[in-house]
């Protein structure tokens, strides 16, 4: 990756040498060239004067500012050199703000910022971690291509991203859009518009089926491709608490335990009368 700018980040008494790289990969963009249909020759354009139709060379072209229709102020290269800003190769950090304070419409172009040399790696990493921990972004000024730009520096995946910002007066207002009318929405209509959304894709709830194919050859004898079943462990039943025995009274008989089929109260029957009399006589 080739750097397009080399300089320093400076705030307070700290200076970090950095290099700036393009964040947009232009090689991934598909472009078409205009060709001549008969021989596939590339089409070129000549600079011609719209007034006289003469083809012009680079020496015959000057720059001018149009202040009225067909009225221009000629600006010579000497005039441009007088107002040209000197690049100090330094990004002066003016302060730190929350990322939400910058409107998304002000972002113009992203750049990657990297440390310039192994000496700057430690301070570069420290600045990235400090911005990430505080949730802030740095705002500064830098001269790029003879123009002063306002930039923000934000942490990104252990590194730093530099965003060039537009001036607020360059952004048009929403109120300038034609046929824009603000109408009050009814509560029922607002509720309906909120409920209208794409249905979420529901899962079947079934576990995903694992493939039985071996991932390596030969298959290992220790590891099995089939999922192991969980064996239910036998648990020892809890012992019932026994009631403490109490001494019997004079007229009480010892309680005989009933069989299993007679433990239910509903199935109990009173013994016949002759058995009751026999027990009392005994």
The residue among 227 and 169 whose pLDDT is bigger is 169
pLDDT at 113: 93
Residue 35, helix vs strand vs coil: strand
Domain that holds residue 127: 5-24+85-169
Please state, in angstroms and as integers, the Cα–Cα distance from residue 235 to each residue in 204, 228, 232, 240, following that order: 34, 21, 9, 15
The tally of domains found in the chain comes to 1
* pLDDT above 70 for 19: yes
Is 145 within the bounds of a domain? Answer: yes
pLDDT digits (tens, 9 = 90+) for 3-17: 888 999 988 888 899
* pLDDT above 80 for 276: no
Is 188 within the bounds of a domain? Answer: no
Is 49 within the bounds of a domain? Answer: no
The CB-side HSE value for 42 (13 A sphere, CA atoms) comes to 4
**What is the C-alpha separation between 91 and 107, in angstroms, rounded?**
17
Is 140 within the bounds of a domain? Answer: yes
Is 92 within the bounds of a domain? Answer: yes
CATH code, domain carrying 109: 2.40.290.10
Is 129 within the bounds of a domain? Answer: yes
Is 174 within the bounds of a domain? Answer: no
Distance of CA 275 to the CA centre of its chain: 89
pLDDT digits (tens, 9 = 90+) for 20-55: 998 888 777 788 888 988 898 998 888 888 888 888
280: which 2 tokens?
């009392």
Please state, in angstroms and as integers, the Cα–Cα distance from residue 250 to each residue in 41, 214, 247, 253, 257, following that order: 129, 81, 10, 8, 20
The residue among 11 and 262 whose pLDDT is bigger is 11
Is 149 within the bounds of a domain? Answer: yes
21: which 2 tokens?
């790289």
Range of lowest pLDDT (80-89, 142-151, 206-215): 206-215
**What is the C-alpha separation between 99 and 269, in angstroms, rounded?**
86
pLDDT at 129: 92
Give a three-class secondary structure readout of 245-276.
CCCCCCCCCCCCCCCHHHCCHHHCCCCCHHHH
pLDDT at 261: 52
pLDDT digits (tens, 9 = 90+) for 92-139: 898 999 988 989 899 988 999 999 988 899 999 999 999 999 989 999
pLDDT digits (tens, 9 = 90+) for 174-232: 888 888 877 777 788 777 777 776 455 555 555 555 444 444 444 455 555 555 666 66
The answer to whether the pTM exceeds 0.95 is no
């Amino acid at each position: 990756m080739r750097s397009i700018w080399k300089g320093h980040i400076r705030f307070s008494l700290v200076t970090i040498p950095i290099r700036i790289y393009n964040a947009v990969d232009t090689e991934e963009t598909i472009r078409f060239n205009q060709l001549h249909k008969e021989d596939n020759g590339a089409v070129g354009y000549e600079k011609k004067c719209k007034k006289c139709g003469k083809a012009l060379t680079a020496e015959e072209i000057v720059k001018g500012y149009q202040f009225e229709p067909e009225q221009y102020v000629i600006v010579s290269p000497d005039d441009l050199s007088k107002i040209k800003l000197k690049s100090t190769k330094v990004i002066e950090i003016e302060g730190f703000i929350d990322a939400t304070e910058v409107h998304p419409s002000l972002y113009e172009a992203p750049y990657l910022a990297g440390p310039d040399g192994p000496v700057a790696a430690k301070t570069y990493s420290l600045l990235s971690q400090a911005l990430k921990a505080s949730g802030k972004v740095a705002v500064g000024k830098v001269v790029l291509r003879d123009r002063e730009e306002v930039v923000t520096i934000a942490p990104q995946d252990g590194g730093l991203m530099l965003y060039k910002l537009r001036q607020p007066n360059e952004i048009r207002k929403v109120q300038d859009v034609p046929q824009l009318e603000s109408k009050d929405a009814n509560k029922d209509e607002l509720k309906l518009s909120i409920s209208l959304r794409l249905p979420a894709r529901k899962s079947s709830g079934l576990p995903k089926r694992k493939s039985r194919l071996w991932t390596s050859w030969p298959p290992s004898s220790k590891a099995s491709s089939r999922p192991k079943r969980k064996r239910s462990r036998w648990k020892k039943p809890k012992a019932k608490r026994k009631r403490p025995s109490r001494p019997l009274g004079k007229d009480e008989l010892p309680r005989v335990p009933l069989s299993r089929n007679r433990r239910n109260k509903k199935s109990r029957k009173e013994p016949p009368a002759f058995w009751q009399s026999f027990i009392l006589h005994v």
